[in-house]
Amino acid sequence: MLAVSIGEIFAVERQDNALSGFRTDLEVPEGVDHLGTVRRPPEGFGGAIRVLERFRCTRAGRFSIGFVEGRAWESDTIRKSAVIDCG
């Protein structure tokens, strides 16, 4: 869990698997704004691209930001989440 202040900009880092056909959909709850995505090159040869998703809380509360990964041609998805305590 990450604790932040209301209005504070924070980032959640994830790996990007787009080259293998995966796409990530964000589930951003009310009370949190998604400010954008920053892609970083891999560290070392053959590494995955790192992605920083930037957010800001607009009100107090505990929020779960969802990251749903899947391929368009498959029905299975992988759901991960980041829990944020905004106060």
pLDDT in tens, 57-86: 999 999 999 999 999 899 999 999 999 999
Handedness of CA 12, 24, 80, 31 (dihedral sign): positive
Give residue limits of the domains in the chain. Answer: 2-86
Per-residue pLDDT tens over the stretch 8-52: 999 999 887 767 788 899 999 999 999 999 988 877 777 778 899
The CATH architecture to which 2-86 belongs is Sandwich (2.60)
For residues 23 and 70, the answer to whether their CB atoms sit within 8 Å is: yes
Q: How sure is the predictor about 5, in pLDDT bands with cuts at 50, 70 and 90?
A: very high
- CA trace torsion 42, 63, 2, 68 (10° rounding): -20
List the end-to-end C-alpha distance of the chain, in Å, as a whole number: 13
pLDDT at 20: 79
Three-class SS of residue 20?
helix
Q: What is the largest CA-CA distance in the chain?
A: 42
